[in-house]
Amino acid sequence: MLTAADVKEAARAAGADLIGIASPERFADVPPERNPMSIFPEARSVIVVGRRITRGSLRGVEEGTHFNSFHMFGYFSLDSDFLALTTFSLVSYLEDRGWEATPLFPYPPEAHPQGIPVRDGQPAPNVYPDMDYAAVAAGLGEIGYCRVFLSPQYGPRQRFQLVLTDLELEPDPLLPDPICGFCGKCVAACPLGALHAERDEQLVVAGRSFRVCGVDWAKCRSCQNGAVPNRYHPSGKPERTAALCIRTCLDALERNGKLSNRFAHEFRQRDPWALDHFGQATMVDTSSKATGCADPGGFRAQKGEA
């Protein structure tokens, strides 16, 4: 009988940097139109497969001199080619051993519905699970204050796909320790004022509650600071990994020793560039003890600065 360790070894051999397993019970509160169990009701495990966004693919964006390597190696091909190959290899591995395995890619849940229910009581197609929710449920990380998934290895730098299988595997525990330090630098770094500490709310994911800021998604969709439109559907949330807010978060997490993927040199080497609503150069303060969401358990408290 295959074990969770066997499956993880196979995924890593196929290139996975992150691999976690959730039980169907962790999706009990998810509505049917986003619930992976709607796609494969007999599934007994939700396997979350991730590959890193290399830090170097963000370099040209950080310097403001080259954006397309991130688009290819950090977004389009990373998802469609590299990660999809890892996912397909794991699916083949499971099906070679008699277990059905359903691959799912990160189409945005916001695009639902795209058809009508074919049976009473069923959600309309296409059901699109939320990858970040699944990754939290599989113990791979948390939702940071900036509303981006953070892992203890790479912070905001990864992409996920799912494999649903009728093979029952030992689920991973939820991540025990927090990653986000509630430093507020993501909020302070946004040149468009799209992140709102005054609109804080609690997001409940797989039974865990995460404090997140309010986001003005319309502003993010027009952002010229490294954000990219959702590649699958215009209703999906824009891709923010390379945007100034999330690059600032990456730098903050690394400087505070929160990430296990470490580098010889700091990510941010000079003051970041920033563009306002009109595409004109502007200034943001990413060095200050900004802003509005300082938390007693965050970076400052850990350093005795709170």
Q: Which residues bind ligand SF4 (CB under 6 A)?
A: 144-146, 180-186, 190, 192, 194-195, 219-220, 223, 225, 227, 240, 243-245, 248-249, 252-253
How near is the Cβ of 89 to ligand SF4 at its closest, in Å? Answer: 32
End-to-end Cα distance, the chain:
51
Q: 36 or 238: whose CB is closer to ligand SF4?
A: 238
- Name which of 43 and 249 has its Cβ closer to ligand SF4: 249
Record the tokens describing residue 168, joined without a space: 């029952």
- Is the peptide bond preceding residue 272 cis, with omega within 30 degrees of 0? no
Least Å distance, CB 150 to ligand SF4, is 7
3-state secondary structure at position 230:
coil
Q: Which residue number, 37 or 195, has a Cβ lying nearer to ligand SF4?
A: 195
Whether the Cβ atoms of residue 99 and residue 44 lie closer than 8 Å to each other: no
Least Å distance, CB 113 to ligand SF4, is 27
Q: How far apart are CA 103 and CA 174, in angstroms?
A: 22
Least gap, CB of 178 to ligand SF4 (angstroms) = 9
Calpha distance 137→148 (Å, rounded): 15
Q: Supply the minimum distance, in Å, between the C-beta of residue 281 and ligand SF4.
A: 14
Q: Is 49 helix (H, G, I), strand (E, B) or coil?
A: strand
Q: Which is nearer to ligand SF4, 171 or 236 (CB)?
A: 236
Decide: 84 and 105 in contact? Cβ < 8 Å: yes
Which lies closer to ligand SF4 via its Cβ, residue 49 or residue 243? 243
193 CB-side CA count, 13 A: 2
Token pair of 153 as six digits: 């290895």
Nearer to ligand SF4, 46 or 223 (CB): 223
DSSP class of residue 273 equals P
Shortest reach from residue 27's CB to ligand SF4, in Å: 25
